[in-house]
Chains A and B, each alone.
Chain A
Amino acid sequence: NAGVTQTPKFQVLKTGQSMTLQCAQDMNHEYMSWYRQDPGMGLRLIHYSVGAGITDQGEVPNGYNVSRSTTEDFPLRLLSAAPSQTSVYFCASRRGRGIYGYTFGSGTRLTVV
């Protein structure tokens, strides 16, 4: 199994550009989440989904959109990139709540200039 696959691994954007970070999992997990990791701040939740067609906002949702049309895919869209969105982005999934931990992707390092 591939687990959680994120693409691209690295990306440089100009301010104002838009792009989509891809995330796919092959474990049939219900729950998927997007986090950003900034130095000294740990991980902060952007958006999450508890199943196909169901998404909700996390702690820092502004400037990002998500959709969940299938169980496998959970893309994150940056609408108009800003330098403050320079970060490392992680997608994660888990089978359900309770006793399950998250499986993380390897991350996308995004720089906005």
Chain B
Amino acid sequence: SQQGEEDPQALSIQEGENATMNCSYKTSINNLQWYRQNSGRGLVHLILIRSNEREKHSGRLRVTLDTSKKSSSLLITASRAADTASYFCATDDYFGNEKLTFGTGTRLTIIP
């Protein structure tokens, strides 16, 4: 079963605008990660946020985590055509098992 669910499933915005994607999960976690997947390629790790962190930044990426609501958001600022991809959240098993569970993804399209 999927631990994470991304929202929206698909998002189209104009180049230069900000894109926000959300992830909800069901059980307690150690950390949450975001990955990007370009069409037909493998996933690329973007950022990891620990369960005791509330916000983290990396370049144009900003991730927030609200463990009380079991949700996270990924904000991409000043979007570029190269940001067109699918974005997935993934969570670690709280009990220490190496079972990274992925959501179903958000398909982001940047319109030039």
- Taking Cβ atoms with an 8 Å cutoff, the residues of A that contact B are 4, 31, 33, 35, 40-45, 48, 50, 56, 58-59, 90, 92, 97-107
Contacts and interface: CB of A to CB of B under 8 A. Distances in A.
Interface residues on B, range: 20 to 34
A52 to B, nearest CB: 14
Interface of B: 1-2, 4, 30-31, 33, 35, 41-48, 50, 88, 90, 92, 96-105
Contacts, number: 69
Does more than half of chain B's interface fall in helix, strand or loop, or is it mixed?
A: strand
B102 A98 contact: no
Given A42-B88, A97-B30, A90 B103 contact: no
Given A41-B104, A42-B88, A42-B105, A103 B45 contact: yes
A108 B30 CA distance: 30
A31 B102 contact: no
A43 B102 contact: yes
Given A101-B33, A106-B42, A45 B2 contact: no
Contact of B35 (A48, A97, A101, A107): A101
A97 B92 contact: yes
Nearest to A40: B104
Contacts of A107: 41-42
